[in-house]
Chains A and B, each alone.
Chain A
């Protein structure tokens, strides 16, 4: 029996200067919701809505559970799986992103995690191991019939929606909270952030962007009054072998880390899903990350 992630998990609600902040944990990240309301009851209600949605999405799309649609897909053994409409929309998006990135963004590449472990004790995997995994990667090998909601993966192939799920949860949560209250709110799940549109507000939200070299200090303070920020890259995850540093962003076609990828990329966009995907795409461009982002005409911060 797997624990139900949607109930009985700790939440904290605190009063700050002119807003309430609710904290909880979801998707292996610290999450917070900032709400510019006076009424504690309303703050409680909003926080409850946020945790319910975050935990629902975590439970539904976590690849570490055996009671959800991702497990069903990954253990189908080559059979077609019918998915629900919400999952279908996420898959549509994943396939579109795969196409848009020229194949570099691939939800089936998570299997490379069997070869690459990025921590201080890891070593570089063997070429043979990587070569043996490559046949199991590539969304082009999957058959997705969005009109009939049927996904067929070749046996052994797996998908991981982690690259979409958190940003999706952030946007969904904001949209839910906006239906419950007109008050300005900010949703921050592990650094993926969106806030309700209040461009006229004279008190924008202040956000710190983490410095990868000293993660505990806020490197840069941003003011956000509308839109979203998302960050790709995790400075803790790399390995050094033979004097070479290997970042954790992998190229699904080679199985090897993208060369000259920045340490982290933060993008500002209208919603978190777009910001997160642009940051990921840029990361996959390696040394051309900045050039790619310039082409997109978005605001961004790159740490190399």
Chain B
């Protein structure tokens, strides 16, 4: 019998195989047992939203390679969020989204809905198990619940190793059904807020579905470098509008506000994204992690995200991990700061700044300290600065104001990990 002869250059493959043999720390993460991660994240926007989010995650790694993870998240948001209306020269009075009561924004101030208050609890279960030596299947269920919003989702990912475990190909699918039932019912898209209440409302609840597909390749380049490339496709169908957002109707010459209409968005959205990440371990144990994501959708939003972090091991126990993230987004095709009153209304329109054009920069650092073989505490502090771009030409008095005011936020997280 003639065996297949090794063909060509195998030194790289052999080097990778020998590297994983000699680098025994690589299995340290996979020691069977219980792992507990907990953290509390605080997010605070200057003059706007504050959020507190505790997370508890428990992972059980079984002797035979199966993995079970349970994660519980609770967050509570308080504060004020822009309602979509533009700044005006005169005080503005808004009806609360529930229809009960009003609030007033002073002349020259950005209209903020100060009743913004919500709490959410989310629970997810993920279970991974080997199908054979080279293939793993991971499946999960996720559920989250808010006062007026519920989401239930399912996901499955199949990962197979090739090329002596130097290449891993992943195929994933996820499906979620979200339903919304805002207090006071759902507004009629683009209806005037001054219409009688029953004429500006249609139905009490609606839902949307989100279907995601992912294809990914992870490749070990050499003993120090790992590269990952993903493509994902996401399709949303159903109620994609934000029932709490409005747009100002302004005079075409003076820019003075004459009324408001409700947000209106298409009922489908197709998103694509490509993601590239490289992780490089230096000989001294420091880790460089750089990633880039390009996302585009059929709402004409396109965004770039560049993320870089460097883990610097100051001692056996103490590390510092500086982090920089840059985000740039082009506005949705139907985004407008306001609509001109008297003109025909477009099919869709939104002044939600999250669909606008802006840059965001996050700068910060994480600090970690290993208490012993089983536990670590860490602390993360970051600042986020968002600068919006004005879309289209401001009209009249709008020239006196920043139509997309800057946003500053601080993020603080304290975490603790423990292995049983």
Contacts and interface: CB of A to CB of B under 8 A. Distances in A.
Interface of A: 82, 85-86, 88-90, 92-93, 96-97, 99-104, 144-150, 168, 171-172, 175, 251, 253-254, 270-271, 273-274, 277-278, 281, 285, 288, 292, 295-298
24 contacts: A89-B20, A92-B20, A93-B17, A99-B164, A100-B10, A100-B17, A102-B5, A103-B3, A103-B4, A104-B5, A145-B65, A145-B133, A147-B64, A147-B65, A148-B64, A168-B21, A175-B22, A271-B18, A273-B22, A274-B14, A278-B14, A281-B6, A297-B9, A297-B11
Contact of B15 (A144, A274, A285): A274
Which 8 residue pairs spanning A and B have beta carbons closest together?
A147-B65, A148-B64, A102-B4, A147-B130, A93-B21, A96-B17, A273-B18, A148-B65
Contact of A292 (B6, B20, B27, B30): B6
Contacts of A171: 22
Given A144-B133, A296-B11, A102 B3 contact: yes
Contacts of B24: 85-86, 89
B63 interface: yes
Given A89-B27, A297-B11, A298-B11, 19 more contacts: A85-B27, A89-B24, A92-B21, A97-B14, A100-B17, A102-B4, A102-B7, A149-B63, A150-B64, A271-B22, A273-B18, A273-B21, A273-B22, A277-B14, A278-B11, A281-B10, A295-B8, A295-B9, A296-B11
Contacts of B13: 96, 100
Contacts of B165: 92, 96
Contacts of A288: 5
B11 to A, nearest CB: 5
Contacts of B63: 82, 148-149
A97 B14 CA distance: 7
A104 B4 CA distance: 9
A145 B14 CA distance: 20
Interface residues of B, number: 31
B135 to A, nearest CB: 10
Contacts, number: 101
Nearest to B21: A93
Contact of A97 (B7, B9, B17, B64): B17
Nearest to B67: A147
Interface in B22-51: 22, 24, 27, 30-31
Nearest to A284: B6
Given A147-B130, A295-B9, A253 B1 contact: yes
Nearest to B128: A147
Contacts of B10: 100, 281, 296
Interface string B102-137: 000000000000000000000000000010110010
Nearest to A174: B22
Given A96-B164, A281-B10, A285-B5, A145 B130 contact: yes
Nearest to B64: A148
A130 B153 CA distance: 60
Contacts of B31: 85
A184 to B, nearest CB: 17
B6 to A, nearest CB: 5
Contacts of A82: 63
A283 to B, nearest CB: 12
Contacts of B27: 85, 88-89
Nearest to B135: A147
A92 B9 CA distance: 20
Contacts of A254: 1
A24 to B, nearest CB: 22
Nearest to A148: B64
A174 to B, nearest CB: 10
Contacts of B7: 102
A148 B165 CA distance: 15
A197 to B, nearest CB: 9
Contacts of B130: 145, 147-148
A139 to B, nearest CB: 12
Interface in B217-233: none
Nearest to A97: B17
A288 B7 CA distance: 12
A285 B63 CA distance: 39
B136 A104 contact: no
Given A292-B6, A296-B10, A93 B18 contact: yes
Nearest to A292: B6
Contacts of A172: 22
